Structure 1
Amino acid sequence: MNTTTATSGTPQFIPAHPADSAFDTLAALESEAIHIFREVAGEFERPVILFSGGKDSTVLLHLAVKAFWPAPLPFSLLHVDTGHNLPEVLEFRDQIVERYNLRLHVAKVEDYLADGRLTERPDGIRNPLQITPLLDAITENRFDAVFGGARRDEERARAKERIFSLRNAFGQWDPKRQRPELWNLYNGRHAPGEHVRVFPLSNFTELDIWRYIAREDVALASIYYAHQREVFQRDGMWMTPGPWGGPRDGEELQTLSVRYRTVGDGSTTGAVLSDAADNQAILAEVAASRLSERGATRGDDRVSEAAMEDRKREGYF
């Protein structure tokens, strides 16, 4: 259903056109996500939204703001900064925080490397190093519910996970402790020290996300749209040079038109060749793709078939 506001200020509900199946799908997905946000607000004491500046966490925040508007958002944001983020993403993150006047918690991997709590990996990839700062931030701030932008279509381990995902006192995920979620009823019970990860976008697909971005005119970080960038090819992906290093011997630096399908550690997240500079062009591109964004552009998911599930068992999202 769509909404408009009458001259009296009372919302008027207008049924969607029966032929507009895409609209119907987005309306149902939006309604489900808003219901989840409100359920968590009523059931938990200290929820937080994990915000990376990527498209999924941006849509997540958009839905959260919409769920409580015109009241201010009752949650703060948490960002785990690997130190290998693309500068456009950090700039966008700060703009969003300022726009909505939000409180932002930043857990920095760099701090853990500096004092020896973590050690740099031989491959230079920092995505797995996010786990300890994330769990420490959850514990120190006593967050009992943590919203994430994960979707079931991204990866098979995420497809196993419920919308309310119980984590033990060590932040670990146990598939055997998954709870049934029938008739949109969610069980958030947890023991002291445990917390619940909450995934309101679980039933969105990548195409749904982009349809929703287009419908709602959601602003995104510029890297999601085609732009000229220096890149080099490694392991079948187009990587960009940065603090994590540049091209190795035999890897040629080229300036090409690319865009990013997902945000992650710069040392392991690749771009795709693209001329799609607006939402409609990206919609056509995503609809024609046969690879998920993680499968196409995330090197850390290629370590093994169970790479994501192994990280989730350790406390990763």
Structure 2
Amino acid sequence: DSMARGTVRLAHPGESRNVHQSVTLLEAIEEFRFDALIGGARRDEEKARAKERIFSHRDSFGQWQPKDQRPELWTLFNTKLQPGEHFRVFPISNWTELDVWQYIAREAIALPSLYYTHQREVVERKGLLVPVTELTPLKPGEVAESRDVRFRTVGDITCTCPVESLAATPEQIVLETLAADVSERGATRMDDKTSEASMEKRKKDGYF
């Protein structure tokens, strides 16, 4: 809808849609007048996430100001809003990737097969395994390889990469996660490689 309205314009078909999500999100908040939106972010995902709390206050422009983050002492939440403002609420903010996989294993939660090992055509770029698709084709001189991979996170294919893995069950992923030394976003997101502050900048502009 945003693209049809012209409020989102891609510079080229292969451009990451990630940054443009903020436009659509803010348009939906304006249309439906939401007071709070619930997300699944965790503090161990990325440095900027760690600055937020469970209740993340956003001003009337949908912007987040890290310096104005409200404290949550004793799990008490300041839910006061001015007209036009809203909250992004992250109930599992204090969980880690390991906590999530231990919970999935304990509760035997069914997940899409992308989260587990599978064979996929990829090409290595800047230390990441980029999936070869219509939206992410090979560049001149590149050669695709078939590797055993899984996705630690599932998002926009233009910026989300799998990791090499043979883990086929939640229990195997728990063991793999225990040994991981790179965060989920650090290992999978091309757009977060642009600068240390790329996520924080997007969140100030309204990103989830």
| TM-score bucket of the superposed structures, by smaller chain | over 0.9
Rg larger in structure: 1
Paired residue for 2:11? 121
Shift of 1:204: 0.5
1:217 positional shift: 1.2
Q: Which runs of 5+ in 2 are unaligned?
A: none
- Which structure 2 residues correspond to residues 110-149 of structure 1 after superposition, within 5 A? 111-121=1-11, 124-149=15-40
The amino acid across from 2:117 in the alignment is A
Q: Hey, what does 2:136 align to over in structure 1?
A: 245
Which residue of the partner structure matches residue 86 of structure 2? 195
Partner of 2:69 in structure 1? 178
Equivalent of 2:169, from 262, 274, 278? 278
- Would you say 1:161 and 2:42 are equivalent positions? no
Unaligned runs of at least 5 residues, structure 1: 1-110
Percent of paired sites with the same residue:
56
Residue aligned with 1:261, SS:
coil
Does residue 233 of structure 1 match 2:124? yes
Alpha carbon RMSD of aligned pairs, Å?
A: 1.3
- TM-score, normalized by length of structure 1? 0.63
1:245 Cα deviation (Å)? 3.0
DSSP-derived class of the 2:176 partner: helix
Secondary structure in structure 1 of the residue aligned to 2:149? strand
Runs of 4+ in 1 over 6 A off after TM superposition: none
Letter aligned with residue 273 of structure 1: E
Q: Which has the higher contact order (CA 8 A, sep 6+)?
A: 2
Matches within 5 A, 1:92-103: none
Counterpart contact for 1:233–1:252, Cα < 8 Å:
no
Counterpart CA distance in 2 for 1:190 and 1:218 is: 36
Q: AA paired with 1:260?
A: F
Q: Which has the higher helix share?
A: 1
Query: Within 2, Cα distance between the matches of 1:285 and 1:182?
Result: 34
Amino acid across the alignment from 1:117 = T
Q: Helix, strand or coil for the counterpart of 1:165?
A: strand
TM, length-normalised to structure 2: 0.95
Question: What is the distance in 1 between the residues matched to 2:94 and 2:49?
Answer: 11
Q: 1:236 to 1:219 in 2, by over 3 A?
A: same
Residue from 73, 78, 101 that aligns with 1:210: 101
> What is residue 28 of structure 1 aligned with on the other side?
none
Paired residues for 1:3-14 under 5 Å: none
Give the Cα separation in 2 of the matches to 1:242 and 1:169. Answer: 38
Q: CA deviation at 1:243?
A: 3.8
Q: How many angstroms apart in 1 are the aligned matches of 2:207 and 2:16?
A: 15
Change (3 A) 1:129 1:243: farther
Aligned residue pairs, count: 207
Cα distance in 2 for partners of 1:290, 1:236 equals 14
Distance 1:230 1:146 in 2: 36
Question: 1:305 is matched with which residue?
Answer: 196
SS in structure 2 opposite 1:127? coil
Give the counterpart letter for 1:258 in structure 2. Answer: V
1:234–1:251 contact (8 Å) kept in structure 2: no
User: Structure 2 CA distance, aligned partners of 1:281 and 1:117?
Assistant: 44
